[in-house]
């Protein structure tokens, strides 16, 4: 579940391995558990849970898995996960926000600090890079389907998205990005879905105001840092402003 970085993350999402997908199941299960603890197991009255269920389905999490997560998180022996956000810098000042869901703050904090230290970064104080990001609803749609056939007309999509309430529309190499206010995301998704659009991703993301370019050893270290963060089961989202991924 890599962070927003222009359109480079789309190909990475498309090439997820089965092992990586299994980690997606684990991570979104933790987010759902937290939402259920805070607002109950009924998605009708728990909007946060409803959004996560929709997100799980968009990531092809089977309905049986979703039902098991809800049942387990509603039980007396449910694991008590806590949400924690870390901020820091990667190589050459790349800004990172790391969102975790953990049952052991000490373990997760130690692991995150280790990753930053090992790959040329520095874990900072809360707020040290947050001002560089803005929460936005981001919908990504591909011009072509899985067979490479063109199925989306960019001009039509732009008109449909703006009419639905989107605030911005971008295109790059056959990848369309619709941006909106976070509170408008679900409504716009519903409108576009009714018109037959299929989403590569549709979620609230932390979008950076500027991007940082890396090369050579710094790029390699950044790649390794992201790999280790994203492979950690406690970490549910990593947002950054590196334009190389």
Which tokens belong to 96?
A: 């990172």
SS3 185: helix
Rounded Cα distance, 24 and 132, in Å: 26
Q: What pLDDT band is residue 13 in, cutting at 50, 70 and 90?
A: very low
For residue 202, list its beta bridge partners. 139
The strand order across the sheet containing 235-240 reads: 122-123, 82-89, 95-102, 235-240
Q: What percent of the chain has pLDDT over 70?
A: 90
CA neighbor of 186 nearest in space, from 88, 9, 54, 57:
54
Q: What pLDDT band is residue 202 in, cutting at 50, 70 and 90?
A: confident
CA neighbor of 133 nearest in space, from 102, 164, 171, 95:
95
CA atoms within 13 A on the CB side of 72: 15
Find the range with the poorest average confidence among 13-17, 181-185, 194-198.
13-17
CA 35 to chain centre: 16
Structural domains of the chain sorted by starting position, each given as residue range(s) with its CATH number in brackets: 8-74 (1.10.10.200)
- The values of phi and psi at residue 188, to 5°, are -70, -40
**pLDDT over threshold 50, residue 45:** yes
Which residue, chain included where needed, has tokens 């369309």?
176
More confident: 239 or 19: 239
The strand order across the sheet containing 201-208 reads: 168-172, 175-180, 133-142, 201-208
Which residue, chain included where needed, has tokens 């930053």?
116
Q: What pLDDT band is residue 4 in, cutting at 50, 70 and 90?
A: very low
The answer to whether the CB of 197 falls within 8 A of the CB of 151 is no
Output the average pLDDT for the chain: 87
Which residue, chain included where needed, has tokens 């950690």?
232
**pLDDT over threshold 60, residue 167:** yes
The strand pair at 95-102 and 201-208 is best described as unpaired
Find the range with the poorest average confidence among 21-30, 50-59, 165-174.
21-30
**pLDDT over threshold 80, residue 15:** no
H-run or E-run covering 69: helix 63-74
């Amino acid at each position: 579940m890599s962070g927003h970085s222009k359109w480079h993350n789309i190909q990475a999402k498309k090439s997820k391995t089965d092992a990586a997908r299994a980690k997606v199941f684990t991570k979104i299960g933790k987010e759902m558990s937290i939402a259920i603890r805070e607002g109950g197991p009924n998605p009708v009255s728990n909007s946060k849970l409803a959004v996560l269920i929709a997100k799980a389905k968009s990531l092809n999490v089977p309905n049986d898995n979703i039902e098991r997560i809800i049942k387990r998180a509603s039980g007396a022996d449910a694991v008590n996960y806590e949400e924690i956000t870390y901020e820091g810098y990667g190589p050459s000042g790349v800004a990172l926000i790391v969102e975790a869901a953990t049952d052991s703050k000490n373990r997760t904090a130690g692991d995150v600090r280790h990753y930053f230290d090992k790959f040329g970064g520095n874990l900072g104080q809360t707020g040290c890079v947050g001002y560089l990001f803005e929460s936005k609803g981001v919908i990504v749609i591909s011009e072509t389907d899985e067979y490479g056939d063109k199925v989306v007309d960019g001009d039509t999509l732009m008109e449909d998205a703006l009419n639905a309430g989107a605030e911005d529309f971008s295109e790059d190499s056959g990848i369309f990005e619709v941006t909106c206010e976070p509170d408008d995301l679900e409504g716009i998704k519903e409108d576009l879905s009714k018109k037959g659009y299929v989403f590569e991703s549709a979620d609230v993301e932390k979008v950076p105001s500027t991007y940082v370019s890396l090369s050579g050893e710094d790029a390699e270290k950044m790649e390794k840092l992201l790999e280790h963060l994203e492979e950690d089961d406690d970490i549910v989202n990593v947002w950054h402003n590196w334009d190389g991924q």
